[in-house]
Amino acid sequence: MVRALFPAASRDRTESLVEAAPEAPCSPFGRRAPREHVEMLARFRRTISSSTVMLKDLTPYGARIEGVEGLEPDEAVRLALPGQRPALAFVAWSNAHCAGLEFAEPLDLYVYGDLVRRYALPGERD
């Protein structure tokens, strides 16, 4: 259903962009990049409702958020990181407390580095 609503932003397109990118270090959990533990507020939009969420983990490819519930896997949402325009993301997984999002387009490495520098928790990384 998500691909029907957003055909230009399907996961297939995202995966081809990621495959063209240089190899990122893999974590022991099969992630494309290590997670940076952060604490930052972000604006979250789902259909017509909007709220503020707390980002807890961040990679160039996605994030873990807290403060929203009832999300479904593959649901399309928008996330506005501090100082950035809202960007399309897909729900990778969710539970009653948090959700993992996969960005439709990976974060620019300069933007990612700046966010980590400003919001990373000292000494924590996966």
Query: Are residues 101 and 65 in contact, defined by beta-carbon separation less than 8 angstroms?
Result: yes
Q: Give pLDDT, residue 64.
A: 96
Across 2-22, average pLDDT: 40
Query: Are residues 52 and 86 in contact, defined by beta-carbon separation less than 8 angstroms?
Result: no
Phi, psi of 17 (to 5 degrees): -65, -40
Superfamily of domain covering 2-22+35-121: predicted glycosyltransferase like domains (2.40.10.220)
pTM: 0.73
| Chain segment 40-92, per-residue pLDDT in tens | 999 999 988 999 999 999 999 999 999 998 999 999 999 999 999 999 999 99
E strand or H helix that includes residue 43 = strand 36-46
Cα dist from 66 to 11, 51, 76, 108, 111, whole Å: 23, 11, 17, 23, 21
Domain boundaries, given as residue ranges, for the chain: 2-22+35-121
Which band of pLDDT confidence, cut at 50, 70 and 90, is reported for residue 19?
A: very low
